[in-house]
Structure 1
Amino acid sequence: METNYCIPFFTILIQLMSTVNSQLNCPATDPAINYRPVIGIVSHPGDGASGRLNSSSDVSYIAASYVKFAEMGGARVIPIIYTDPPEIINQKLNLVNGIIFTGGRTKKGPYFEVVKGIFEKVLEKNDAGEHFPLLAICLGFELITMIISKDNNILEEFSASHQASTVQFVENIKLEGTVFGRFPPALLEKMTTHCLVMQNHRFGISPEGLQANKDLCSFFRILTTSVDKENKVYVSSMQAQRYPVTALQWHPEKAVFEWGSSQIPHTEDAIQVTQNVANYFVSEARKSPNKPATNKLLDNLIYNYSPSYAGKVRGSFEEVYLFTPRPTLSSL
């Protein structure tokens, strides 16, 4: 007769595991933290592929890399479609815990006015006591510079298209509480000597230009500068002094999710920079107490849309979400 020695062993193992599990005390979650944050990302005019995906004059897009960037920090995304009626945009702002202004080109017209209105709402929410962060990337950096300065001609020209670069931290700057506050010291050091961030812009602002505008210098503090191809220095990172508003002239999302340019850094260090920025921004969104009804969220999440493969048609991005004015999916 064959004896099965495995049965007693597994019986003892299961009993042991049950005893261990009964002794575990998992700490309670912090009720002040929102563990299910949602980020609103504002769409940009065009299709992200020079009309090769959709040439309609009223189409807008969000590069999928921005969506994935928010998701890698632990958040979900609702698209804020800039062509939607103002009441829909305002209702969507009440569903999210933070906003991303993306890169792009458009600096005027309806898009500028929508971004300006959303920026004002961000400040209003914070002034009313709701922690509501904003991350402005590249064009977003430029737009809020124009908005805060009240000068649509304040931007200067730089030669920083398709350029990986270092960043130089302002001397004696305190990084605690900023986007760089939780970066490992070794990674911060590498950012000053290795080209770990992707720049892709023709406009920006010099440290002197920022300091010369009283509205800008009272709103922001400069964290880092960078140098363009002609050795001109520009502000590459800045943080609001009173609000959870971070502005990056560089693109943290590209290192992980975009492959169209050979200049995009894809090293492990560059990936860590992206991850740390995503972690920071979403951690700020977790401070938002806003927890709308689940059905409202589900009807408006980015999952209701499918991305298009733009890289295959030589678009600026690997994937984009396209939006055209139509009856909204929302049940707002």
Structure 2
Amino acid sequence: MSPPFAVLAVLAACLCGVPLLVVCSDHLNYRPIIGVLAQENIVGDPHAQGSSYIAASYVKYLESAGARVVPIRIHQTDEEYEKIFHSINGLLLPGGDVDLETSQFSRLSKIFYDLAIKANDASDYFPIWGTCQGLQQMTVLTSNKNLLTLTDTKAVALPLTFTPASQNSRLFKTFPGSLLQSLSEDNITSNFHSWSLSLQVLSDDVSKHT
């Protein structure tokens, strides 16, 4: 798989909603070990404790599905991160508010992103899930530039727009039809974004790499 297609494959996996479930020797692993990246605290935040954090909500979210969670700290060596990569089954890039190009969170994301592409090219399945900032970070890593658009969609409930590919995606292909209908017709998904990825901008960028 060529590099442009490889990075887009990883991004497509996230966009299509790959669940954090690992296939190993035709047996499902219901207790996968999932890494969660830490990120810098915002400078001047009066509530910040320490230099970095991982929101407890992501840990509880993964553990509620049966996963075992490994925190991945910032300011470690590349060798340490590679060792961690080979000890976990998947990665979650959480939401937040750091610089997507210069932060330690961005540096860590790129290390694991590149390792995931290498592993997937070798048929070693390694899923990465990006939530909010995490997905935004993946778009920056894929395109090598920031494609985000200021939308200020904070505290807004919206329906989802499903692409034809979603019907066969790992996440949605087993969803009940009634739930998919509600998700696509009713304002039931919460959005708290200052920045978003425009479908038009994404399509234009993809066309440049194909």
TM score, norm. by length of structure 1: 0.51
Give the C-alpha shift of residue 70 in structure 1. 0.9
Quickly say closer, same or farther: Cα 1:98–1:148, change in 2 above 3 A: same
Specify the alignment match of 2:141 in structure 1: 147
- Aligned equivalent of 2:190, options 193, 198, 204: 198
Give the C-alpha shift of residue 159 in structure 1. 1.7
In the alignment, residue 141 of structure 2 is paired with which amino acid? Answer: I
What is the CA deviation profile of residues 12-44 of structure 1, one whole-angstrom value per residue up to 9, with x for unaligned ones? xxxxxxxxxxxxxxxxxx863334311011111
Specify the alignment match of 1:207 in structure 2: 199
Specify the alignment match of 1:132 in structure 2: 126
Give the C-alpha shift of residue 217 in structure 1. 7.3
Specify the alignment match of 2:20 in structure 1: none
Specify the alignment match of 2:40 in structure 1: 45
Matched-pair identity in %: 27
In the alignment, residue 206 of structure 1 is paired with which amino acid? Answer: S
User: Which runs of structure 1 show a deviation greater than 4 angstroms over 4 or more consecutive aligned residues?
Assistant: 215-218
Count of residues paired in the alignment: 184
Quickly say closer, same or farther: Cα 1:209–1:41, change in 2 above 3 A: same
What is the CA deviation profile of residues 202-259 of structure 1, one whole-angstrom value per residue up to 9, with x for unaligned ones? 11221110111137876xxxxxxxxxxxxxxxxxxxxxxxxxxxxxxxxxxxxxxxxx
Specify the alignment match of 1:98 in structure 2: 90
Give the C-alpha shift of residue 156 in structure 1. 1.0
CA RMSD, Structure 1 to Structure 2 (Å):
2.3
Specify the alignment match of 2:22 in structure 1: none
Gaps of 5+ in 1: 1-29, 219-332
Larger Rg: 1
| Partner Cα distance (2:101, 2:46) in 1 | 20
Gaps of 5+ in 2: 1-24
Matched, 1:157 2:150: yes
Specify the alignment match of 1:76 in structure 2: 68
Quickly say closer, same or farther: Cα 1:101–1:174, change in 2 above 3 A: closer
| Partner Cα distance (1:140, 1:118) in 2 | 12
| Partner Cα distance (1:52, 1:216) in 2 | 43
